[in-house]
Copies of this chain bind each other. A is one copy, B any other.
Amino acid sequence: MSSYKASLEAAARFLKQHQHFLVVNHVNPDGDATGSLLAMGWLLRQLDKQVTLVNEGKTPAKFMFLPGADDILNASERAEHPTYGTIITCDCADFARVGEVAAWFTQERELLNIDHHPTNDLFGTVNLVRTDAAATAEIIFDLVKHMGLPLGKELATCLYTGLLTDTGGFRYSNTTPYVMEAASELLAHRVEPAAIAERVLESITKAHVSLLQRSLQTLELTDNDKAAYLTVTLTDLIETGANNEDTEGLVNYGRNIEGVEVGVLFKEVADGKVKVSFRSRSEVDVAAIAKSFGGGGHVRAAGCTVSGTIVEVKKAVSQKVSAALRECGNE
């Protein structure tokens, strides 16, 4: 038996052995965290188990259409709460990712850790971790198959949403043949791909549109149009009533312009600081640039927060970007 198969078996045993579960996902949950959490709820109810779903904060509005989303408790709203001895964490690379929900766990807890992050440190009593899975939802799909459980529309919808969001709408390189095979089987259970994509990928807020319009006015192409810079000021954020979610994706507009290799967004935050987001197309290692400013991330998507005015930070960052482009022969 492969070690992954053994961990599926151990996870199945964990679910059968216990009766009441607290299921938690990570702070600031994304589509996979939310979809996985809800999928575990549907799976456990099929086994006639009692289940409590909780997140440290509020589930983002765009995921509230998911079946069962209304039942997710918001820990930050509850001064008083019971404690639980049987825990399942979904999509959490380490224990700290559950945030303040940790206070809901008893000392002698048993914990099933279901996750796909390469950095997962196996903090569970039982660890169901496959780091080449595109999403935690993919692993829960495996678990459903392993246990021979039926896929209902609700469970399939939650899992599909996890796959869809963690593959960037089936656009990232983690879109494997197996992801598509799983998506195919999930769709066969009356999942509505268009309705889900519209809600989780295509919906934009009025504030986002206003910010987009303002930031596009600041577009600057440099280094023979290989670098694209966009800016969002505190004034923009205040006047458009935008929150952090509303700025998501802005940086891609620069990177997506034909011929551009590096897209950068400068966002003014409080205390004389600027948050810098980087995206690259195929050559420049933006994680290295972000790291040189105390940040980090992936080779194609990274970020850092730098003290200074936008003008100052932009000058420092653009020098590093130009140097990186020169190194790649993109002078």
Interface of A toward B, CB cutoff 8 Å: 169-173, 175-181, 183-185, 187-188, 192-194, 197-198, 201-206, 209, 212-213, 216-217, 219, 221, 225, 252-253, 256-258, 281
Chain A contact residues, majority secondary structure: helix
Kindly state the separation between the CA atoms of A203 and B259 in the bound complex, as whole angstroms.
9
Tell me the smallest distance from the CB of A329 to a CB of chain B, in Å: 19
The chain B residue sitting closest to A300, CB to CB, is B194
Query: Measured between alpha carbons, how far is A331 from B177 in the docked complex, in Å?
Result: 46
User: In the complex, A176 Cα to B193 Cα: how many Å?
Assistant: 8
Q: Which 8 A-B pairs have the closest CB atoms?
A: A180-B184, A213-B216, A171-B197, A173-B194, A175-B193, A177-B188, A181-B184, A177-B187
A324 to B187, CA, bound (A): 32
CB-CB nearest in chain B for A213: B216
Q: Given A184-B184, A198-B281, A204-B258, do A209 and B253 touch, yes or no (CB 8 Å)?
A: yes
Q: Does B253 lie within 8 Å of A204, measured CB to CB? A: yes
Return 23 A-B CB contacts under 8 Å, by A number.
Answer: A169-B171, A170-B170, A171-B197, A172-B193, A173-B192, A173-B194, A175-B187, A175-B194, A176-B187, A177-B184, A177-B185, A177-B187, A180-B181, A180-B187, A181-B181, A198-B281, A204-B258, A205-B257, A206-B225, A209-B219, A209-B257, A212-B216, A213-B217
